[in-house]
Chains A and B, each alone.
Chain A
């Protein structure tokens, strides 16, 4: 069965510091991975995705993630965070059905950027 574990429920960090949000997955089939961000009182927005190809994926707002098959990880990184990055971040894996699919989400990591 496919599942996603986000290792940290909360990550406090100072502005301009680097950050890494950790995500591990389990999957017995082809792996498609995603990071979404949810700002307060808003819906989810796609940050980046890994479908195939280069294991280093660049997304919006300066975020990137690295797919590591041997460690079954897909950690999200940003070299220098801003106050505006304060939000909840969700890692997800895609489970494909015959004629459809669904995203299985981790529990989320709350990133809090302090001045």
Chain B
């Protein structure tokens, strides 16, 4: 158990819908990172927040957005869902601004039908 929690574990929804994925980092970690893992794209970094501020951005679609709240938990919002958004979404956390040692949550499996 890494100490990073993600909810829900599984999510099944229809195209065009909007979902919110939630992540709680390890106690004491200030950085949260979001990744998408799919069969065709592999593991892709989406976005990083550090203490509530966006710090790094990857190939995140405009339909996706994220935020980190004062209690340091983070949410990833995915809207206007398409079939291709079906993937495993991981959250990770680290103490520092840089992911020298990053701890991953168990992931949320999103299925868009």
Contact = CB atoms under 8 A, between A and B. Distances in A.
A41 B31 CA distance: 24
B97 A99 contact: yes
A43 B91 CA distance: 9
Given A90-B43, A97-B55, A108-B43, A103 B106 contact: no
B102 to A, nearest CB: 7
A108 B42 contact: yes
B106 A94 contact: no
Interface stretch (A20-28, A45-53, A66-74, A79-87): A45-53
Contacts of B58: 102
B72 interface: no
Contact of B101 (A42, A49, A99): A49
Interface residues of A, number: 23
A100 B103 CA distance: 16
B14 interface: no
Contacts, number: 63
B83 interface: no
Given A43-B2, A97-B56, A100-B55, A107 B104 contact: no
Q: Which of B4, B100, B105 has the most CB of A within 10 A?
A: B100
B8 to A, nearest CB: 15
Interface in A101-115: 101-108
B42 A101 contact: no
B43 A100 contact: no
A96 interface: yes
A101 to B, nearest CB: 4
Given A100-B48, A108-B42, A42 B106 contact: yes
Contacts of A32: 100
B84 interface: no
Q: When A and B form their complex, which 3 residue pairs have the shortest distance between CB atoms, in order from nearest?
A: A100-B55, A100-B56, A43-B104
